[in-house]
Amino acid sequence: MSLAKDFSKLINCQDDSSDKDKICKCISCDKINNLAHPDFTIIERSSMCSDTKCVSCKSTKGQQIRECVISENIISKSRFKPFMSNYKVVVINQANYLSKVSSESLLKTLEDIDSNFLIIFLIENLSDLTETIISRCQIWKLNKISNQNILEILLEKYPDREKDIAEIMSFGSPTLGEASDMLNDPIFFEERQEVLRRIVKIFNSPMSDKLNYSKELSLLYRKDKERVLNELRIWKNLFRKILRAEDADENLETISILKLIKEKNKLKIKKNIENILSAENNLKFNAIPSLVFDNFIINLEV
């Protein structure tokens, strides 16, 4: 997203003389920074169309990128020239959440599009975007930034949050964007601690309690998919962290949890990670959630 914004600023910048290492103050860059540029739009899962009565927006709120949003922000706009800049840019964040209809509706626009209209799809796994869209795009692959680099960037940006940053970095391998989101989310730390406590409890409970937990997950999944997926991610990251436990920072709160599971052997932990990956994968391909969670729980190696 940062790159997409910087790129949009660069191609629309109105100050040729400006030093590109500094923050440019020209009207175009300034408006993009403030997300107030008429030719720069970001579409997210949470984006709604301008029709306040739109049934589609209300019924699938936040679950996918809807066709009405695509139609309003891309297809209609593609007929007009940029308002104040050289290029009109639309960035689709998490493009894997484009609904099937949304993807299909884009195909014709992508073919006929003017050279001064850019659509940027941001996506983590290219395979989550349909082949028909990929074939109409130019692909830029970004390498993952190393944990060390992310750590340095975050420390420079948030010098007073050293402890929080260490905690985030010690837990799995977040991307730079994920790590910044976590830092800026006040309930993140609290919620994560709570999930961790629950995981340890479940891990050490009899099968009947474990199956109850599985039921809770599938109920919650119906209401709030993202939260359950996040919980699975925390499970996964916890096991991944245990695999690398020898360099764990002793000051972390998670260390007490780690000690509980630390004695388990690596093979078991790897099997648990595979177990979670396959649960995530099955959910992605719309398997029945209750079966997925039961399977996950039953196959958990303790």
Which residues in this chain contact Zn ion in the complex, by CB under 5 A?
Answer: 13, 15, 24, 26, 29, 49, 54, 56-57, 68
Nearer to Zn ion, 93 or 170 (CB): 93
Nearer to Zn ion, 33 or 282 (CB): 33
Question: For residues 300 and 206, is the Cβ–Cβ distance under 8 A?
Answer: no
Question: Token pair of 182, please?
Answer: 């976590």
Nearer to Zn ion, 12 or 180 (CB): 12
Give me the least distance between CB of 129 and Zn ion, in Å please. 22
Give me the least distance between CB of 49 and Zn ion, in Å please. 3
Give me the least distance between CB of 28 and Zn ion, in Å please. 5
- Supply φ then ψ for residue 39, to 5 degrees: -105, 10
DSSP class of 264: S
Positive/negative CA dihedral, 131, 133, 135, 140: negative
Nearer to Zn ion, 44 or 191 (CB): 44
d(CA 245, CA 49): 47
d(CA 215, CA 207): 12
Give me the least distance between CB of 70 and Zn ion, in Å please. 10
Question: Token pair of 177, please?
Answer: 């964007």
Which helix (H) or strand (E) segment is 203 a member of? helix 186-203
Nearer to Zn ion, 69 or 234 (CB): 69
Give me the least distance between CB of 153 and Zn ion, in Å please. 23
Nearer to Zn ion, 23 or 291 (CB): 23
Question: For residues 147 and 128, is the Cβ–Cβ distance under 8 A?
Answer: no
d(CA 183, CA 154): 9
Give me the least distance between CB of 97 and Zn ion, in Å please. 15
d(CA 5, CA 118): 12
DSSP class of 74: I
